[in-house]
Amino acid sequence: MNGYGKVRRPDPCVMELVSRLAREPWTDRPACVHPVLSAVARAAHDHSSSAGRRQLLPLAPRFLGTSRTGLEPAARLVAVCVSTALTAGELLPDERRRLSAAHQTALHLLGSADSPGGAARWWLPAFERLRWSEPFYRTFVAAEQAAEAVAVTARAANSDRDVRLRQLVKQCLGAHGALRPGAPTPS
């Protein structure tokens, strides 16, 4: 049942649980969570079985306090998700093109590539002059790219979809620093 007691759902989203743990209004987009991590968790939830959704819930405390500004954290999360999707299996040509461009942009923002890929080569310089590039990338572009990469990964991982999606969420939490080295991870 959601926080207002009006809608019964058998599988609450891990982000809804995080909003409750953070004492925020009931939402699947809690302010205390990085927008890209939130998008990854929602996409993993949407593409998991009922049992897989329940297995994501113990990760909820790890999302608390992960909302950071800056291009680097968002780019790192996109790089993790897209790298996984690009190696997951067969991609449609459009998916491969979009995800490759997303990967190139993420690497550019991390300082590993000369120029951004795809449409970012146009909007990134323009938005940098206006100081809009960071919030635009973190909130909209990176979140959408990561969610698409999760969907591609889910489609490719037929029999072990829940395991792969949960592992991807854990990899993203680790890349973001939410899973501390040496700290016990929820099983």
pLDDT, one tens digit per residue, over 64-102 is 999 989 999 999 999 999 999 999 878 899 999 999 999
Q: What is the pLDDT of residue 115?
A: 83
* Rounded distance between C-alpha atoms, residue 97 and residue 83, angstroms: 13
Tokens standing for 72?
A: 């680097």
pTM above 0.85, yes or no: yes
Label residue 57 exposed, middle or buried (CB < 10 Å: 0-12, 13-18, 19+).
middle
Question: Minimal CA–CA distance to 99: which of 110, 83, 76, 75?
Answer: 83
Instruction: Please report, as a single letter, which amino acid is at residue 39.
Output: A
* Rounded distance between C-alpha atoms, residue 91 and residue 86, angstroms: 8
* Rounded distance between C-alpha atoms, residue 187 and residue 64, angstroms: 18
Q: Are 161 and 48 in contact (CB under 8 A)?
A: yes
Q: What is the pLDDT of residue 6?
A: 42
Phi–psi pair at 28, nearest 5 degrees: -100, 10
State CA 53 to chain mean position distance. 15
Q: Low-confidence residues of the chain, pLDDT below 70?
A: 1-10, 178-187
Q: What is the pLDDT of residue 10?
A: 67
Tokens standing for 23?
A: 């004492």
Q: What is the pLDDT of residue 178?
A: 66
Alpha carbon separation from 163 to 132, 145, 146, 182 (Å, rounded)? 37, 21, 18, 22
* Rounded distance between C-alpha atoms, residue 82 and residue 85, angstroms: 5
Q: What is the pLDDT of residue 97?
A: 95
Tokens standing for 84?
A: 């996984």
* Domain edges within the chain: 14-176
Task: For tokens 């113990």, name the residue.
Answer: 58
Q: What is the pLDDT of residue 129?
A: 80
* Rounded distance between C-alpha atoms, residue 132 and residue 182, angstroms: 37
